[in-house]
Amino acid sequence: MALNLKDPEALSAALRLMRTRIAEHAPRLAFEQILLEPMAAAPLAELIVGIKRENDFGLALVIGAGGVLVELLKDSRSLLLPTTEGAIRQALLSLRSATLLQGFRGRPEADLEALVAAIGAVADYACEHAGQLLELDVNPLLVGAQGTVAVDALIRLGQA
């Protein structure tokens, strides 16, 4: 991964370095494609959104403070699936870190509608793939004043 590539020369240099490192550490690995994305703006908050299996209850949606704060704050809520946008919104606003979504210290308010929609899409995906979904984690989900961006995600499918 390369960050803050400001011009074509920086991109070319980063690609050369990646090719060199891959050739050194994984010489048989084909390096044919790259994924290039714009840098995400500094977020108002970082969340974690995950799906876990609860014995005897089925799938649960877990929402909480994300990024580096996951272990530090231990601030999360769980909702059994299927769920509603109203329940997702209520869970978000009940987090101890919810203040970050509500214009903390003069910062803008988070785009709560986009956030609820993004989390709802994760919940819908989980319900649609319940028989195959082994694990799903989005961390961090960057929350901004205009939208959300999933920076890292893991989905494992198999026989659930």
Q: Are residues 133 and 153 in the same domain?
A: yes
Those residues whose C-beta lies under 8 Å from the C-beta of residue 128, and which sit 6 or more positions away, are: none
Whether residues 75 and 152 fall in one domain? yes
Q: What is the pLDDT of residue 125?
A: 98
Domain identity same for 28 and 50: no
| Pairing label, strands 133-144, 147-150 | antiparallel
Q: Are residues 15 and 57 in the same domain?
A: no
Same domain, yes or no: 62 and 139: yes
State which residues form the domain around 25: 1-39
Are 79 and 109 within one domain?
yes
For residue 145, the tally of other CB atoms under 10 A from its CB is 14
The whole-angstrom separation of Cα 111 and Cα 66 is 17
**Domain total for the chain?**
2
Task: Summarize pLDDT for 36-93 with one digit per residue, the tens.
Answer: 888 888 999 999 999 999 888 899 999 999 988 888 888 999 999 999 999 999 999 9
pTM of the model: 0.83
Tell me: do 69 and 30 sit in the same domain: no
SS3 for 101?
Answer: helix
